[in-house]
A and B are shown apart, each in its own frame.
Chain A
């Protein structure tokens, strides 16, 4: 069962647990705060990439399908010591070992002029029945 409400938090927690991410900021994507112009350290932003599901059987209310979570690794242009691929590998092993995703995709790094960073995107896929949270109104 995939807990849709907590999956992003679960991914964040298992990345933060790894000692590799000591000097690297890990947070939920699209946070409403200012990105410092002179970013010194790398950052990992985690967010919902895609979700698709359908009823597991005719007449059933439960949904099953695929939920994808992205983890974008941002390495500032000025930082010549860190490599996005190395960080992406560490993110991969942290998530794969604890959450056992059904699929992992790594996109080629690209230079993002807006954030002045090299960005490497990882996408984790999870396939199972969805727990969408909220109150179950079947009995009403």
Chain B
């Protein structure tokens, strides 16, 4: 089996069911890994008070399958997982042997305004 398919199969075992949405378009559900960034920087889970309110620093690492090209999405695209929305802050294609084997991204959890 090709590497990209092996990774996709592994994502189904360890990942979470997610959706991509970009404007009117929404993808079919698929499996990807979302991991909170606080394991890399312990302060990332603490909201910080600014002049315009508390700002969340909830960053997540995304690893998704080769057949969902996140680099083709617009800047307004979001990831939906368990009713929570995430926006992309960085998107990368990971290539091995001339083939895309998975996609990597940094996501930020979306905080809604309290009156939304």
Contacts and interface: CB of A to CB of B under 8 A. Distances in A.
Interface string B44-58: 000111111111100
B110 interface: yes
B14 interface: no
A53 to B, nearest CB: 24
A36 B113 contact: yes
Contacts of B91: none
Contacts, number: 60
Interface of B: 47-56, 75, 87, 108-114, 116
A72 B56 contact: no
B56 A115 contact: no
A129 to B, nearest CB: 29
SS of A interface (majority): loop
B111 A34 contact: yes
Contact of A34 (B51, B54, B75, B108): B54
B110 A115 contact: no
16 contacts: A34-B53, A34-B54, A34-B112, A35-B50, A35-B52, A35-B55, A35-B111, A36-B112, A36-B113, A38-B110, A39-B52, A43-B52, A45-B52, A72-B52, A114-B48, A115-B50
